[in-house]
Every structure is written in structure tokens, then in C-alpha cells.
Amino acid sequence: MSMTGRISNKIAFVTGGASGIGEGIVKMLLAEGAKVAFTDIQVDAGNKLAQSLGSDALFIEQDVRLDPDWKRAIELTSATFGPINILVQSAGISYPGNIEQVSLDDWRDHMAVNGEGVLLGCQHAIAVMKNNGGGSIINISSIESIRPGAPFIAYAASKSAVDAITKMTALHCAEHSYGIRCNSIHPAAINTPIFHEYVQKAADPEKQMAIYAGMQPLNRVGTIDEVAYTVLFLASDESSFFTGHQMYVDGGALTKPYPAGQGV
């Protein structure tokens, strides 16, 4: 990962940044010149990562479901680095359950973290960005919101909420000339800790990995950097005519149907 300064002098705020895709995004934005505040409920992992990244990185404990946590984290970021002009919402949960299996508690957990968390993030980002020259909001969704897999009903529905929030945020900000763009990114199977949990829980992990790889015409799972580079593009001024857009980081997965009973 070489620094080219594509987002120099920008201030980024990344949720779910202590591990997985979020961690990769934090490192990418830092490498390309931004100062980055990142949040998570994984406090030990977040503090350890921040210590390894230097003074341009700030870790803040945050539960994205809680409005006071958003207010506190955004204010601390502004006091440390200045007002944000990039928001990346990577925090999320995912666990399986089809329509017959899913509990109401599981449904509500997904909606609270993946749905309400993104809603609150957009609200707080707009409040800062509209008075400071605009910015870019990037919401991490999933190809499950476009073509749901039956075993993941709560996850897919919550990511569909992310898509709706993204498009309506984009439209609202454009209509009010705020200079704020809002886009979503839709990964397929990506090599993350959560992905490995699914694979290892399978009766035959090697076979399950082959199934996941085969869902993409490129016949492999994606990498964290491949998602992070897409975030970088949307965070930069290179994407100045992109808003309300869905970007698929899916190895071509959406060009063909899922195998029966599968999903990402």
C-alpha cells in the first residue's frame, strides 16, 4: 500500500474500524493522507491498532446504536483533528437465520446496528459537513441487499435499509446543495474474520470455502484491500459526480444466481 496523497488534508471517521474491512479502510485512508478517527466496541483491539498507527489515528469507543455515542465521538474528532469530511460506516453484524429460524431479537439486533446505526451516522455527518464545505458519506452494504440469500433474512433486510438510507441521504443533500455525496459499497464474500467464522462452522470447511469462491465468476473471495480501494475512490475528489450510487465489489457475483441454500 503506497501513499499517493489522494485524500491529503481530509478528516475521516470510520465505524467498525478495529478489525476486518473497517481496519483495512482505516489503514488505506491513513496511507493516502487523511487523519482518521475510528470507532468500535472492541476497545482492546481498537486501542492496540491506534497505538500502531501513529498520531494521525484516533480510536474512540462507540456503540453505533446510541445517539449520545455518536455526538461524543464526532465532537472528540472535531476537537482533535477538525470537522470531518469523510464518513465510512463499516460497523455491522451478521449471523444466519432463515424466515423460519430468525428470532425477533436477532431481527432487532440487525436493524439496530446495521440500520439505525447508519441512519444516525448520516444525520451526525450531515450536521457537520453541510457547514464545512461538504463531504463524502460511504455506507458499507452487501450484495445481500440486491440479491438476498435465504439463510440471512435479518442481515439482508438490514442492508436493504442501508441502501434506502443511502439513496435518500444522497437526494436530500443534493436538493439542499450541501456538497455532500452519499454512496454505498456492496461486497460479496470477502476474506474477513466474520467470513472465516462462517467457513469454520461448516461441516466441511474446505468444501464450504470452495462454494463461497465459486459464487464469484472470478472464482475466489475478495480481499479487504479491494473494498478499501473502493472506499478510497469514493472518499476522494475523483468521485465528485458519484452520489446515490451502489458500487459492487463482488467478483461478478451478481451476474449469476446463488447455489441453492447459499448466501454471502
Residues with a catalytic annotation lie at 155
Q: For residues 255 and 128, what is the distance between their CA atoms, to the nearest angstrom?
A: 39
Q: What's the first-to-final CA gap in the chain, in angstroms?
A: 27
Name the strands in the sheet holding 35-40, side by side, starting at the edge strand that comes first in the sequence: 57-61, 35-40, 11-15, 86-89, 135-140, 180-187, 246-249
Q: What are the cell numbers at 226? A: 479491494
> 222 has which bridge partners?
190
> 119 has which bridge partners?
none
Residues 253/217, Cβ–Cβ less than 8 Å = yes
Q: For residues 106 and 86, what is the distance between their CA atoms, to the nearest angstrom?
A: 30
**Helices (H), ranges, the chain:** 20-31, 43-53, 67-80, 104-110, 117-129, 153-175, 193-201, 205-214, 224-235
193-201 and 205-214 helices, crossing angle to 10°? 120
For Cα atoms 110, 112, 116, give the angle at the middle one, nearest 5 degrees.
120
Residues 129/180, Cβ–Cβ less than 8 Å = yes
Q: Is 35 helix (H, G, I), strand (E, B) or coil?
A: strand
